Structure 1
Amino acid sequence: MPITVIIPTRLRSLTNQQKRIAIEGVKVSEVIERMEQQYPGIRAKLIFDGSAYHFINIYVNDNDIRLHDGLATNLQDGDIVTILPALTAD
């Protein structure tokens, strides 16, 4: 069973307007690399120099990866990875 990744509205132009994608991977970093293969340009919107941008929040089953192992956080079949850009006040 693959990992489900929930894509925020801001990044859906890179995923052919898909809100959710199913992808294989055992670590968050691997999921992002596989997403990059299918949807070129998405990695640059999420990570820089081996870490998630400070304005991008990534959760695995509602748990912030920054409180665990970051991009090295392990995944299991059926996990849900949620990508949330930080909100900004205009």
Structure 2
Amino acid sequence: MTVRIPTILRTYTGGRSEVTADGGTLRDVLADLEKNHQGIAARVLDDQGKLRRFVNVYVNDDDVRFAEGLDTPTPDGAGVSIIPAVAGGC
């Protein structure tokens, strides 16, 4: 499947905005990403292995926080998007 990588994490993917990864769940996909792009998982997951608070992850168009989290299925042909949360204000 295709994983869309935000600009801030592209140093781990050699500058690529999209990479491929395998896995039946988001947890598996992130493990495969880490295997092929060492260091990226630590930027997406906290010390307890949970998604970082300010990182949003989508499987297709579904926010995994409202699905099954890291156990969200990633069927063949699915797309995963990693999107850092943006804060703003005056």
Correspondence 1:80 to 2:79: yes
- Distance in 1 (CA, whole Å) between partners of 2:18 and 2:51 is 20
Structure with greater strand share of residues? 1
Q: Which runs of no fewer than 5 residues in structure 2 stay unpaired?
A: none
2:12 counterpart of 1:7: no
CA distance in 1, matches of 2:73, 2:41: 18
Task: Find the partner of 1:34 among 32, 38, 52.
Answer: 32
Q: 1:43 & 1:23 partners in 2: Cα distance?
A: 13
State the shift of 1:89 in Å: 2.9
CA distance in 2, matches of 1:34, 1:24: 6
Please tell me the root mean square deviation across aligned C-alpha atoms, in Å. Answer: 1.1
Cα distance in 2 for partners of 1:84, 1:58 equals 6
> Structure 2 counterpart of 1:65, which letter?
V
Question: What SS class does the counterpart of residue 81 from structure 1 fall into?
Answer: strand
Q: Kindly, what percent of the aligned residue pairs are identical? A: 36
User: Which residue number corresponds to residue 41 of structure 2?
Assistant: 43
SS at match of 2:15: coil
Q: Report the Cα distance in structure 1 between the residues aligned to 2:69 and 2:80, rounded to whole angstroms.
A: 12
Cα displacement string for residues 39-62 of structure 1 (whole angstroms, at most 9, x for unaligned residues): 110000001112100100000111
**TM-score, normalised via structure 1 length:** 0.93
In structure 1, distance between residues paired with 2:53 and 2:30: 16
Structure 1 consecutive aligned stretches of length 4 or more whose deviation exceeds 4 Å: none
How many pairs are equivalent? 88
